[in-house]
A and B are shown apart, each in its own frame.
Chain A
Amino acid sequence: MLQFILRRLSQMLISLLVITFIVFSLSHLTGSPINSLLPDDATPQQIASLTEHLGLDRPYYVQYLTFLQNAAVGDFGESTKWKGSTAAEVVLERLPATLKLGGLAVLISVVTAIPMGVMSAVWRGSIFDRMAGVIALLGQSLPAFWLGIVLMWIFAVTLGWFPTSGYGGLSYMILPAVAMAWFQVAALTRLTRSAMLEVLDSEFVKLARIKGVNERSVIWKHAFRNAAIVPVTYFGVLAGSLLTGSVVVETVFAWPGTGLLAIDAIRGRDFPVVQTVVLFFAVFYLLANFLVDVLYAVIDPRIRFS
């Protein structure tokens, strides 16, 4: 088991290293931040002095190595767009907002999708199943930004049930979280449903029924327990889509999280912040997958030796 964990961990680190290189290269390839920081009538001296100030005149590999060195001790550079703060500070300040929103979105999707998926399978072919199917299909067909705007107009502007945008407590989070969760609900419902269908068909469940176990127990204690592995492993993918989903939703709802930060930073050519944001989320995603892998291995010993 320990060997398995160590192996996975080292693989994770390699992935991370490659990602840092890709991210670093990309953000530097997008062009010098000079042009977006300096005004249009900047003099050549201004350009030169800012270039030097930001260390952009040193050779590429030197910049990368410096970046790695510093990153290892937690120094991700100074933000160029949010002057006076370090990149790490800027990201950490915005991270809780996205985690809160993401957390609520995940909660919504789990609470909605799992029961819906399970009951769709149990009542296969019924109206409920078909409705759930329609909802799932809808979820995968609507772009999140469009949904966000429509939700805002219906529930915030027209009905006034929620505030339109901005940062705040639960009422500010519901609409953006729903917009984020929508797609996940669709995928998770279908996954859960198909996993449940398989298990419900199995000998194991048939046996439980013959033994006289009551139906609710059959569904939840026997079938679901076994089917759950499928949606659980999906959480890794869910974590990854957190940033992608948050970028668009945070823009629409002016939610000051890392998604919005990433867009602003890319547009403003703030390299340090861009790198830091992407790294944080890559780490988050890889960690989530790692944990899921370990969980999987704990549950199913065969996996450890694959």
Chain B
Amino acid sequence: MVTGLVAIAAFSAVPAQAQTITMVMSPPAVETNRYWNTPGDFALGPAMQGLVGHDPVSGSYDNSGLAESWTHNDNFTEWTFKLKPAAMFHFGWGAVTAADVIHSLALHTGPDTTLNGISQLEGAVAVALNDHTVKFTLPAPQVDFLFVHGGRGSLVIYSKAQFDADGLEGYDAMPAGSANLQYVERNVGQGLTFEKVTDHWSGEDAQFDRLELNFVSEPATTLAKLLAKEVDIVILPRELQGDALNAGFEAIPSTNASNQTTMLFNGAFLLPGYEGLDETLPWLDIRIREAINRSIDREAMIDVLYDGRAEILPVFGMDPRHEGYVPELADRFEAEYGYDLEKVAALLADAGYPDSFSNPVIPILSSTLAGNPEFPAMAELMQVFLDEAGFQTEIVEMDWASLGGLRTAREAKMFHPMRNLPVKPSAVGIRNYYSAAGAPRNNYEDEVIEGLMTKYMASIDPAERDELAGGIFTRVFEQYAVAPLASISAEVIVNPETVGAWVFPGATSVGVSHFGSIVPAQ
């Protein structure tokens, strides 16, 4: 018996080897532990949580975040969240309570916030009904309120107790989160390290000890690190993934499409009475827009840009998981948008291109945007297609920030790439890309869409919303308002010797999430 006990003791006393998973990604736009000072492109994802989580397989909202349940009133202006009583902050900062949520909301909507999607939280007032219940009162109905808590991750919950004790410097040094991985350190310019929380309150401990994120901006360097087996997981641009796969590494895609790409006809502000309209833009003519769409061989494009691993996208912003999905548009796509150079020639002749146009040149923007390294290749490819179809084109190079300035001023009169990442709820997407309401995203606008939009924003009836959104998407489709390109899943490339599985839904701005559920290889 004693021998048995000793044997058991000896066995359990054998220390497990500290297992570290290293992952390479491109450097985030802003490196700080104050999440509200970033554009939201990379939450301290491994360590911090929002109220709402995503099911790793279906991507739909679930209670894997800090809220165990939620309700809303009939007109979607009041949302009440019940927090999980067992939820605890790291480093002993105590239980997660309503006070922490209110504190975090204040931080995230404060004067120096730079978060994407913060408009959804503006004007929201949060009140603690008790220690574990928070009620948000919104100035206008928001059917998609959960989006800002989940995938977009705009509201990340920080510890009020930590702030009261150590202020912002406390967050800078060692921010307490609540997920099953906790913050260890940040090496500015190099990366972040997290470690597993033992006996996590959720009952699901991470299956590895440490997670190291390395920031590398050069894809060639990233690939080199993977091939040299210095790292376990990488995010690589599509064109290099082939090399990695050929060398025996494996791709793990997100379980759902996480990104949509398109080219926008920026400047097509066709609302009557809009005075800033530049009437010389060739794509104001619907025949030109149709012709441009039909000049794009989308299958070749998917091969070139996405190594064949992407789907054709009928309407930018439309997704089966959200409101307004119209399956018929996918059926009609080949007939109305299919690659057909003869039709293009006919359309151009009909429109009188180039002679009837005072400015026939189509400026195509080439720019790099973090997380979308294929944009310059996209621009070149578009030029190839358009030139062959008979258009006059020029490539304009500009960094994304400068483009942002032009767009805000409604002066970005170019054919330029855009992404929808993560795929947003329809209302958010439409407001961003097709409507004059909300902050200007600058693309096609017209009065039909605007009319539908007004009703859509006011409606709280799901069936009606679905119909209105569908109407908007149909209009977009029929007016050739954009040149949609592809629907893509987020992919990571892993070393199968060290990483067994990772299931993530592709619902965040950086594509990956659910770090705590990375399964090391056995």
Which residues of A line the B interface, CB within 8 A? 31-43, 46-47, 49-50, 53, 80-85, 90, 93-94, 149, 152-153, 156-157, 160, 163-167, 251-254, 256, 260-261, 264, 267-269
Q: Are B224 and A164 touching (Cβ within 8 A)?
A: yes
- Known contacts A36-B400, A53-B111: does B221 contact A165 (CB below 8 Å)? yes
List 19 A-B pairs, Cβ < 8 Å: A31-B402, A35-B408, A39-B114, A39-B116, A42-B408, A46-B113, A46-B118, A49-B111, A81-B31, A83-B34, A84-B33, A84-B172, A152-B224, A157-B224, A164-B225, A251-B217, A256-B189, A256-B190, A260-B217
Q: Which residues of A contact B116 (CB under 8 A)?
A: 39-41
- Give chain B nearest CB distance to A31 CB in angstroms: 6
Q: Are B187 and A149 touching (Cβ within 8 A)?
A: no
Q: Are B29 and A153 touching (Cβ within 8 A)?
A: no
Q: Which residues of A contact B32 (CB under 8 A)?
A: 82-84
- Known contacts A81-B30, A163-B230: does B122 contact A43 (CB below 8 Å)? yes
Q: How far is the CA of A166 from the CA of B31 in the complex (A)?
A: 18
| Number of B residues, CB within 8 Å of A | 51
Q: Which residues of A contact B217 (CB under 8 A)?
A: 251, 254, 260, 264
Q: Which residues of B contact A90 (CB under 8 A)?
A: 188
Name the residue on B nearest A36 (C-beta): B401
- Known contacts A157-B224, A164-B224: does B432 contact A260 (CB below 8 Å)? no
Q: How far is the CA of A50 from the CA of B221 in the complex (A)?
A: 35
The listed residue (B34, B122, B218) touching A254 by CB distance below 8 A is B218
Q: Are B407 and A40 touching (Cβ within 8 A)?
A: yes
Q: Are A32 and B228 touching (Cβ within 8 A)?
A: no
Q: How far is the CA of A178 from the CA of B117 in the complex (A)?
A: 46
- Give chain B nearest CB distance to A271 CB in angstroms: 13
Q: Are A50 and B404 touching (Cβ within 8 A)?
A: no
Q: Are B224 and A81 touching (Cβ within 8 A)?
A: no
- Binary A-proximity of B239-279 (CB < 8 A = 1, otherwise 0): 00000000000000000000000000000000000000000
Q: Are B441 and A157 touching (Cβ within 8 A)?
A: no
The listed residue (B122, B189, B218) touching A261 by CB distance below 8 A is B189
Q: Are B432 and A40 touching (Cβ within 8 A)?
A: yes
Q: Which residues of B contact A81 (CB under 8 A)?
A: 29-31
Name the residue on B nearest A41 (C-beta): B439
Q: Are B216 and A165 touching (Cβ within 8 A)?
A: yes
- Binary A-proximity of B103-142 (CB < 8 A = 1, otherwise 0): 0000000011111111100100000000000000000000
5 A-B pairs with the lowest CB-CB distances in the bound complex, closest first:
A39-B116, A36-B401, A83-B32, A256-B189, A35-B404
Q: Which residues of B contact A34 (CB under 8 A)?
A: 405
Q: Are A164 and B228 touching (Cβ within 8 A)?
A: yes
Q: Which residues of A contact B122 (CB under 8 A)?
A: 43
Q: How far is the CA of A101 from the CA of B227 in the complex (A)?
A: 25
Name the residue on A nearest B31 (C-beta): A82
- Known contacts A32-B405, A85-B188: does B220 contact A267 (CB below 8 Å)? no
Q: How far is the CA of A84 from the CA of B401 in the complex (A)?
A: 22
Q: Are A157 and B401 touching (Cβ within 8 A)?
A: no
Q: How far is the CA of A205 from the CA of B493 in the complex (A)?
A: 65
Q: Are B27 and A35 touching (Cβ within 8 A)?
A: no
- Give chain A nearest CB distance to B247 CB in angstroms: 10
- Known contacts A165-B225, A261-B189: does B168 contact A149 (CB below 8 Å)? no
The listed residue (B27, B117, B189) touching A94 by CB distance below 8 A is B189
Q: Are A253 and B114 touching (Cβ within 8 A)?
A: no
CB contacts under 8 Å to A, within B393-438, are 399-402, 404-405, 407-408, 432, 438
Q: Which residues of A contact B438 (CB under 8 A)?
A: 41
- Give chain B nearest CB distance to A262 CB in angstroms: 12
Q: Which residues of B contact A268 (CB under 8 A)?
A: 29-30, 401
Asked if B214 is at the interface (CB within 8 A of a chain A CB), the reply is yes
Q: Are B117 and A36 touching (Cβ within 8 A)?
A: no
Q: Which residues of B contact A149 (CB under 8 A)?
A: 220
Q: Are B218 and A166 touching (Cβ within 8 A)?
A: no
Q: Which residues of B contact A252 (CB under 8 A)?
A: 218, 220-221
- Give chain B nearest CB distance to A92 CB in angstroms: 11
Q: How far is the CA of A253 from the CA of B220 in the complex (A)?
A: 10
CB contacts under 8 Å to A, within B201-224, are 214-218, 220-221, 224
Given A256-B188, A269-B401, output 9 extra A-B contacts at Cβ < 8 Å: A38-B39, A39-B117, A40-B441, A41-B432, A49-B111, A83-B30, A260-B217, A264-B189, A264-B217
Q: Which residues of A contact B27 (CB under 8 A)?
A: 264
Q: Are B39 and A82 touching (Cβ within 8 A)?
A: no
- Known contacts A40-B432, A41-B439: does B218 contact A267 (CB below 8 Å)? no
Asked if B40 is at the interface (CB within 8 A of a chain A CB), the reply is yes
- Known contacts A82-B188, A94-B189: does B224 contact A165 (CB below 8 Å)? yes
Q: Are A254 and B228 touching (Cβ within 8 A)?
A: no
Q: Are A39 and B40 touching (Cβ within 8 A)?
A: yes
Name the residue on A nearest B40 (C-beta): A39
Asked if B37 is at the interface (CB within 8 A of a chain A CB), the reply is yes
